[in-house]
Amino acid sequence: MTGRCGLLWDEKVVFSRFLEGCGLTCEQVTPHLLAAPFFRGRYSALIIPAGFANPSYSRLLPALRASSGRIRKYVSGGGRILVFGAGIDRHDAYDWMPFPVTYRHEKQKGVLECSGSHWCSTLFAEYDPSSIECDGFFPVHAGGVVARIGDRDVLIHALVGDGEVIATTIHEYPSRDFLNEFCQDSRETFL
pLDDT (tens digit per residue) in 54-65? 999 999 999 999
Helix (H) or strand (E) holding 138: strand 132-141
Rounded distance, CA 118 to CA 168, Å? 14
Local confidence band at 40 (pLDDT 50, 70, 90 cut-offs)? confident
- Evaluate whether 143 touches 158 at the Cβ level (below 8 Å): yes
Report the range of poorest mean pLDDT among 20-24, 100-104, 143-147, 153-157: 20-24
Q: Identify how many contiguous H helices and E strands the chain contains and give both numbers.
A: 5, 12
pLDDT at 124 over 60: yes
Rounded distance, CA 119 to CA 146, Å? 9
What pLDDT, on the 0 to 100 scale, is given for residue 66? 94
What pLDDT, on the 0 to 100 scale, is given for residue 171? 87
Tell me the CATH number for domain 4-190: 3.40.50.880
Rounded distance, CA 102 to CA 3, Å? 30
Rounded distance, CA 168 to CA 136, Å? 9
Residue 29 three-state SS: strand
- Greatest mean pLDDT among 2-11, 77-86, 176-185 lies in 77-86
What pLDDT, on the 0 to 100 scale, is given for residue 3? 66
